Amino acid sequence: MTIADSDFPMDNGTSCLPIPPEEENRIVSELLKESELNLKEGNLCFVISNRWFSSWQIYAGPCIGIFSTDEQSSNSQHANDVHSEIAARPGPIDNSDIISTENNCNDNSLDIRRALEEGTDYVLVPQEVWERLLEWYKGGPALPRRLISQGVGQKQYSVEVYPLSLKVTDSRDNSKSIVKLSKKATLSELYELVCKIKGVEQKKAHIWDYFNSEKSTLLTVSDQTLEDANLTMDQDILLEVSLDRDPFFHSGMDSVGNELALVPVEPPTSSVSIAGAPTMSNGHSTGSSFNLCEGSSAGSSLTSLDDKNDNVYRGERGGLAGLQNLGNTCFMNSALQCLAHTPPLVEYFLQDYNEDINMDNPLGMHGELAVAFGDLLRKLWSSGRTAIPPRVFKGKLARFAPQFSGYNQHDSQELLAFLLDGLHEDLNRVKQKPYIEMKDSDGRPDEEVAYECWKNHMARNDSLIVDVCQGQYKSTLVCPVCGKISITFDPFMYLSLPMPSTVMRTMTVTVFYGDGSGLPMPFTVNVLKHGCCSDLCTALGTACCLKSDEMLLLADVYEHKIFRYLENPLEPLASIKDEDNIVAYRLKQGSRKTKLEIMHRDNVRGGERKLFGSPLVTYLVEGPQYGANIEASVHKMLSPLRRAYSSTKSRDGKEDGFMSAGFDEQSNICSEQVGTSCGESSFQLVLTNESCFSIHPIERESLIKPNQQHIRVFLDWTGTEHELYDSSFLRDIPEVHKTGFTVKKTRQEAISLFSCLEAFLTEEPLGPDDMWYCPRCKEHRQATKKLDLWKLPEVLVFHLKRFSYSRYLKNKLDTYVNFPIHNLDLTKYVKTEDGKSYVYDLYAISNHYGGLGGGHYTAYAKLVDDNKWYHFDDSHVSPVTEAEIKSSAAYVLFYQRRSKQEMEGESQVHTGPH
């Protein structure tokens, strides 16, 4: 669709009358849809400060498109609630808050501050949207960026917000300069740019990969991309220029015989013989030659800096090398160190694994990921304490998992999940996977079904990772409608354990009496976080001693009106936010009658009325409803709020005495008589509609016709009502869960790993986005799910779910989890009766320090042979005591099962000789 210029009036640089905000929103939405249908590499996008863009969305309404994020949309989710006439039109586009003040680039292009997050600090819009916004609002400056495609097989498009920045050292005078270009640019383009800046003839220029200020790879003019050449952000490259006037300068020769200037370059030494396998200290190669598939970038004959660390470090044991941080890669380094200290993996990758490489697996990475990981592991175990730059591995990671490309912080557990799965597929011994139709359990014995499922799994999946890291759990689903039970046995690579505080949720709800028999009272209850409204009603019913003939009607109160009734018992509690005000009306069970909703208005200056407090809700008796019936019900609902007086003042002189029981017999009489004998004037009641715009005064004799069995009225409070009733009980309605700085933070009590495991194994309902298709009902149902452990692997990985994400909330829990280092006995949790003992010892931990959107990852790992623990903090490696490794930063735990021999040896140590 083409948006005509006539859609909006514009002037020629002078001030103009803006078009309506909803029209701006429509135009931008259409342009976003159009750009989404025409995605291609090289398209221009523009970076806009989220501070300005959020103000535009408040003015024009939320506008969700391909280049905006869920977080951005959630930030503006209430934008439509703000009336366009009230929301101010934003000023000129202002990107000053996201522009870097340092700009030492070779050109005049503007830099964006590092470590900004999309949706939080900036948004991305296509060129067409930027041009419209610029016409409407002026301002800037423009921050154009290109769309690139990443990944092998299924391409993913992303905007390269931060182009690759390279530091150029000119060998002629050691001067420094910076060039910036896309990581998808070719080495030919790099040569062209550097030579243009330096005024050098390209045929005389030679550019080296100068990582860590050491010559490694000579970058030749070619179509290879900078990404495939393993060039990383902010690294050094070296420019050398051949000197024709000095033909006798022995500095090495390039590929066409040109003499190079400066210091002679020694060829980097490497003893790689198979898949990156180094010659070990005994002088024998660990394998035979291995060639990658044709066209593989990993098969490059160029020698990288990484290979220079293959020289054997003698005199000190392996496994103590750090990993250099390549720019927010601590998440990767932490996960890699844990895997590189997993004994079965170390033993496997230090041997010849040539025959297990599966280059033809369509689910794998052509063997390249396994080769890169094996190569890195060998370097870590052969370089002594020299820190390794994992550039080749990161390049492979970005190639096959574009979500980990770039230099933003990521999740070490997500990387671990991808890496284990990728290694499995690259090492899968099954070359042709057979098609296997899964059968339902149909009441068969668990042992039979579990064996069948594992056999079918092994027919398609057979690798070192399956042998060492994969277990099996039993999954039981029960349909809430027909009771259908489905049992499956599924493999797992790790266990993601919820923290108990992420399983349970504390909620405060104010309970009102729907018959006016008591004062409103807030109750705080604990419910399943992923439960539904029926769970909340059950917990509230217990807390408030709900009678057998009563029910609770939940409602969400917003701006002193009922925003919605939560009448669906399966409504997920996730739809209720912590800052919401939720009330429950205690009503008699039985047939639904006409619902009366009473909202409160107070006098303000100028004779205007302003809503206050929480509405009251009751059911009216059957039959025609007159104004007198409504007034009587209002008196009855307000009776608990009645102040206690003996006269105008109480006998002790206090004007605001309260009754201990809420109301007495006299006040009941007043309610029934619609109050004249007690000195009360009739209430000022106004009938309104659902939108609360239409109002009609209620006469006592007038017939009230309900709208769909629902009557809404305003109760206009005067000085008389305030003198007779205490409205504070209506005003002080607490939030569901109070957060913020006003709440005194208390130290959370430690929880055990066992309590996390038990929370994982607790039965719970599936979420609304994870419905199960019941084969009997032929419908998707919100079934209940129960997990049980059936088969545990040799290496058991626990992921503690410290991070929680939703549309409205991101959170990290720093709760201290007390986990055993030795003798983690899980035997009682394993349901299969195989007679085995499942006792584990800890050998590695991935730690996360700090909050969301940043933080830092490290690792603790144990050298099993010498029974010592070490702290791996990127390049820095230091010994630690066993007492130091337990902290609230523990994020992923790695355990290895004790062998039968170890168990017998331990038993002999404890029992001693007889």
Domain boundary among 705, 731, 757: 731
Residue 306: pLDDT above 60?
A: no
Together in a domain, 567 and 701: yes
Domain boundary among 128, 160, 192: 160
Alpha-carbon distances, residue 45 vs 38, 81, 449, 731 (angstroms): 13, 29, 53, 49
- Specify whether 856 is catalytic: yes
Together in a domain, 127 and 195: no
- For residue 621, give the CATH number of its domain: 3.10.20.90
Q: Would you say 270 and 307 are in contact if contact means Cβ atoms under 8 Å apart?
A: yes
Together in a domain, 136 and 209: no
Domain boundary among 241, 274, 299: 241
Greater model confidence, 751 or 372 = 372
**CA atoms of 903 and 896, how far apart (whole Å):** 13
pTM for this model (two decimals): 0.64
Task: Show the 3-state SS of 552-609.
Answer: EEEEEEECCEEEEEECCCCCEHHHCCCCCEEEEEEEECCCCCCEEEEEEEEECHHHCE
Q: pLDDT-derived band of residue 35, with 50, 70 and 90 as boundaries?
A: confident
Residues 6+ apart with CB under 8 A from 656: 643, 726
Residue 11: pLDDT above 50?
A: no
pLDDT tens digits, residue range 179-199? 999 888 999 999 999 999 988
List helix spans (H) across 674-828: 719-724, 728-731, 753-760
In 10 A of CB 42, how many CB atoms? 10
Q: Would you say 554 and 566 are in contact if contact means Cβ atoms under 8 Å apart?
A: yes
Alpha-carbon distances, residue 90 vs 9, 250, 735 (angstroms): 18, 66, 32
- Using alpha carbons, select from 432, 412, 472 the residue that is nearest to residue 891: 412
Greater model confidence, 30 or 257 = 30
Residue 334 lies in a domain: no
Q: pLDDT-derived band of residue 364, with 50, 70 and 90 as boundaries?
A: confident
Q: Kindly tell me the burial class for residue 60, based on how many C-beta atoms sit within 10 Å of its own C-beta (0-12, 13-18, 19 or more).
A: buried
Residue with tokens 């062998």: 899
pLDDT at 850: 86
Q: Kindly tell me the burial class for residue 110, based on how many C-beta atoms sit within 10 Å of its own C-beta (0-12, 13-18, 19 or more).
A: middle
Q: Which of 105, 457, 737, 856 is catalytic?
A: 856
Residue with tokens 């829990």: 813
Mean pLDDT, range 714-727, rounded to an integer? 88
- Rounding to the nearest 10 degrees, give the CA dihedral for residues 881, 886, 892, 896: 60
Residues 6+ apart with CB under 8 A from 538: none
Residue 201 lies in a domain: yes
pLDDT tens digits, residue range 99-135? 987 755 555 568 888 878 888 889 999 999 999 999 9
In 10 A of CB 314, how many CB atoms? 7
Together in a domain, 560 and 705: yes
Q: Which of 330, 338, 479, 774 is catalytic?
A: 330
Residue 382 lies in a domain: no
Q: For residue 715, what are the β-bridge partners? A: 600, 685
pLDDT tens digits, residue range 388-447? 999 889 888 888 877 777 777 788 999 999 999 999 999 999 988 888 887 877 778 889
- Using alpha carbons, select from 688, 693, 719 the residue that is nearest to residue 706: 688
Is the preceding omega at residue 278 within 30 degrees of 0, hence cis? Answer: no
Residue 632 lies in a domain: yes
The total of structural domains in the chain comes to 3
Pick the range with the lowest mean pLDDT from 352-356, 361-365, 545-549, 606-610: 606-610
Residue 446 lies in a domain: no
Single-letter residue type at 800 = L
pLDDT at 904: 63
Retrieve residue 668's tokens.
């009941």
**CA atoms of 382 and 277, how far apart (whole Å):** 10
Per-residue burial over 436-457, b if 16 or more Cβ lie within 10 Å, else e, is: eeeeebeeeebeebbebbbebb
Together in a domain, 133 and 223: no
Residue 279 lies in a domain: no
The pLDDT > 90 percentage for the chain reads 35
Alpha-carbon distances, residue 165 vs 148, 188, 647 (angstroms): 17, 16, 83
**CA atoms of 15 and 567, how far apart (whole Å):** 52
DSSP label at residue 212: G
Q: What is the mean pLDDT of the chain?
A: 79
Mean pLDDT, range 81-109, rounded to an integer? 71
pLDDT at 381: 92
Together in a domain, 149 and 34: yes
Residue 169 lies in a domain: yes
Helix 391-400 and helix 368-380: axis angle, to 10°? 160
Together in a domain, 134 and 233: no
pLDDT tens digits, residue range 773-822? 998 899 888 888 899 999 999 999 999 998 876 544 467 788 889 999 99
The range of the structural domain enclosing residue 118 comes to: 21-66+89-160
pLDDT at 476: 92
List helix spans (H) across 17-93: 21-36, 50-60, 70-75
Together in a domain, 690 and 555: yes
Together in a domain, 169 and 58: no
pLDDT at 349: 94
Q: pLDDT-derived band of residue 569, with 50, 70 and 90 as boundaries?
A: confident
Together in a domain, 156 and 174: no
**CA atoms of 343 and 783, how far apart (whole Å):** 40
Q: pLDDT-derived band of residue 501, with 50, 70 and 90 as boundaries?
A: low
Q: C-alpha angle 323/328/331, rounded to 5°? A: 65
Together in a domain, 227 and 124: no
Listing DSSP states for 72-87 in one string gives HHHHTTTGGGS-TTTS
Residue 849 lies in a domain: no
Retrieve residue 507's tokens.
């909620």
Alpha-carbon distances, residue 92 vs 27, 51, 53, 138, 673 (angstroms): 18, 12, 11, 5, 64
The top-scoring range by mean pLDDT among 8-12, 48-52, 227-231, 567-571 is 48-52
- Using alpha carbons, select from 58, 61, 52 the residue that is nearest to residue 24: 61
pLDDT at 337: 96
Together in a domain, 50 and 191: no
- For residue 152, give the CATH number of its domain: 3.30.2230.10
pLDDT at 593: 78
In 10 A of CB 895, how many CB atoms? 24
Task: Show the 3-state SS of 826-867.
Answer: CHHHECCCCCCCCEEEEEEEEEEECCCCCCEEEEEEEECCCC
